[in-house]
Every structure is written in C-alpha cells, then in structure tokens.
Amino acid sequence: MSESLSSRDRIRLATIARIRGVRAERLINYPQLKFEKSADAARKPLERLCAQGFLAASALPRGLRLFRLSSKGVAVTGAPPAYAASPSTGIAAEMLGVSALAWQTEEFLFPTKAELEELVATLAPAEENPKLTSRFVLRPVIKCGETELHLHAFMAELRPASDLARRVGVVLSNLRSSAVFRDLLHLGLLGFTIVVPSRGVKSSLERNSFEVETSIVVVEELQDLIAH
C-alpha cells in the first residue's frame, strides 16, 4: 500500500480487505485496531478514507452503514475486484457475519481468497483446480489434547431454518464434486459454520441432523438487514 497512507490507515484497510465490509461499531473489537477507543473514534477515520476514495459506505435498512473497499481501496490492498461492488443483501449478510466473528481469532480464522486458493492448491491433486465460490473459515478444534484446523464452509443467509438446512445439503453436494473436498470430508476435516440472526432460528436449525460437523452461531447484527 502507498498513497501516503499512515500505518494506522494501512491496518484499517488491510483489516477490511480480509473481512470485506464492517460497521464502525464492530472495528473496536479487533486487536490490531485497539487504538480505536470508541465507535465514534473508529467511524471518523473510515469517513475520511471514504472522502479520500479508499473506502465506500453502504447504508443498511435500519440506518447504519457498512464500510467497504472502493476500487481504489481494492487496488492498494490487492483484494478481489468484486469487493468494490455495492453489496447485495446476501453479500451484506456475509460481511456482517464475518466481521462479527473474525476478531475472535482463537475460534475463527478467515483466510483471504488468495490464502484459501493457496491452501487448497497444496491439498488438491495436480490436475484439479476446484472453484472456490463460497466463503470459508478455519476452525481450531481440540482433539485428544491437540489442536487441528477444520475447514468450514461459511454461511450467513437470511433464510428460514428449514431453507438453511436444505441449503447446507446443496452446498455439501457441490463440495463433494471436488476430490480435495471429498478427501477432507472423509478425514472429518470439512464442515459448516452457519450464522443466524436470532436464538429462535438457531434453535429451529439445531433440530436438523447434519451429515457433517456443523456449528451454528447467532449474530444479531444480521437483523440490521431487515427493515423496521
């Protein structure tokens, strides 16, 4: 990164490049941004970076804003070009879900697209180049006193519990078309992390029996996508 950015601005942009989008209120949870003492203190530099053209802000139905990279921000961080597009409701849900969890690195490790591609390339047969259209998260799991990393498909979608359960089946079927993901499934190293907007949806979803390791996490910020 260049463009006369301060070290703190570089950290802000790098953080957003990893999580794709974030509310200012959430940034204060991130250890690398511990110098942000309040939501207002976090918001002001984000607004300045918007004015400088590095970030853009997308309004949520309940009046809050998601800060994301602009085309200029994508260029200086090396993030995927799609990160500069105005987010659909589905992408906004992913942004809220990822940004609510990614600061908790002892539980959730979100690789960038480049990092994920590199990881899969080391695991995949030489002749295979699986398409990575889903978001993934690495989940540390303790087994027999040792920690191993499990790769989870990450889902953050505003759907009824029954539709989410069916969606897991569809994504799992698609993953099975790839040899590398079939191998991870066989080894018990592939699963799902599903973000839902309320405890009620979580309770309903937990009534389903999933084929693979599945973690359901409540992120109430998803409710910001639902108009009053």
CA 218 to CA 195: how far, in whole Å?
A: 6
CA 202 to CA 194: how far, in whole Å?
A: 9
Task: Identify whether residues 141 and 63 lie together within a single domain.
Answer: no
- pLDDT at res. 36: 83
- pLDDT at res. 228: 57
Give the residue numbers spanning the domain of 203. 113-225
The radius of gyration of the chain from alpha carbons, rounded to an integer in Å, stands at 18
2 pLDDT higher than 80 = no
Residue 52 lies in a domain: yes
Task: Identify whether residues 159 and 197 lie together within a single domain.
Answer: yes
Domain final residue, candidates 86, 102, 135: 86
Number of domains in the chain: 2
Tens of pLDDT, residues 83-106: 999 999 999 999 999 999 999 999
Is the pLDDT higher at 124 or at 148?
148
The CATH number given to whatever domain includes residue 23 is 1.10.10.10
Task: Identify whether residues 66 and 140 lie together within a single domain.
Answer: no
- Which secondary structure element, helix H or strand E, spans residue 140, and what is its range? strand 135-143
Question: Nearest CA to 32 among 6, 47, 12?
Answer: 12
Task: Identify whether residues 128 and 197 lie together within a single domain.
Answer: yes
Task: Identify whether residues 82 and 121 lie together within a single domain.
Answer: no
Task: Identify whether residues 70 and 147 lie together within a single domain.
Answer: no
Q: Dihedral of the CA atoms 165, 185, 152, 181 (nearest 10)?
A: -110
What does the angle CA 173 – CA 111 – CA 86 come to, to the nearest 5 degrees?
85
